[in-house]
Amino acid sequence: MNRSRRSAGSTVLLSLGAALLALAVTACGSGDGGGGKGHEKEKPAAEGGEHDRRGMLGTVHEDRMPPYDPARPNPRDRTEATLTVRSGERFTIAMRKSASARLDWSLSGPGPDRKVVRPAGTSTYQTEREKELIGSSYAHYFTFEAAGPGTTRIVLTNRCGSDRKAGCYSPELARSVTYPVTVR
């Protein structure tokens, strides 16, 4: 009889311990010192995030690099879906830049047809969390202004996949991404 009491007492203590652990896990917050923002994503520029206080980036189109699959290597040169914008509209292509992943994007020459799309500058942004991580990536924004009706192409080149003299070069890396653009 004494043995069953211990067993029942142990069961109660284990249940109580499990309940307290579950409560602690769900109620302790994000672990960021009480600020509650530890797991929230930074607002993208298009939503008025800290890095775009003036709204200068316009509509932001994020690059969608295909996930890694060793059975199907990513194409070295890929073309994305056509971006359609209105004349006078400002838009941005956001690429991930990372020394550890060997991603170093730049606008390829001669660039898009300036009668249709004009480069309006570049900028970068790194979240607080990305700043803490060694070798992490950050957003590299290529901003353009739709100058007039027509079609053109914006080609971005990865230096680490295209420049054989670069210390980061590898023939397996992405070489370029092409964005067809239609201005209405």
List pLDDT tens digits, range 16-37.
444 433 433 333 333 333 333 3
**pLDDT for residue 57:** 82
Measured CA to CA in angstroms, residue 181 lies from 32, 64, 178 at distances of 42, 16, 10
- Alpha-carbon distance of 50 to 132, in angstroms, equals 18
Q: pLDDT tens-digit profile of 91-122?
A: 999 999 998 889 999 999 889 999 999 999 99
* Joined tokens for residue 157: 């080149």
Percent of the chain with pLDDT over 70: 70
Residue 117 neighbours by CB distance under 10 Å: 26
Using the Cα atoms of residue 117, residue 123, residue 128 and residue 130 in order, give the sign of their dihedral. Answer: positive
Tell me the mean pLDDT in the region 136-144.
Answer: 94
At 114 the pLDDT is 97
Kindly state the tokens that stand for 45: 């520029």
DSSP state of 46: G
Cα dihedral sign, 124-94-168-68: positive
pLDDT tens-digit readout, 26-74: 333 333 333 333 322 333 444 444 444 446 788 888 887 777 677 777 7
CB count, 10 Å around CB of 147? 17
Q: What is the mean pLDDT of the segment spanning 128-153? A: 94
Domains of the chain: 49-183 (2.60.40.2020)
- Separation between Cα atoms, residue 56 and residue 145, nearest integer Å: 10
The type of residue at 69 is: D
The residue ranges of DSSP E strands in 114-174, in sequence order, are: 117-125, 138-146, 150-158
Residue 55 pLDDT: 65
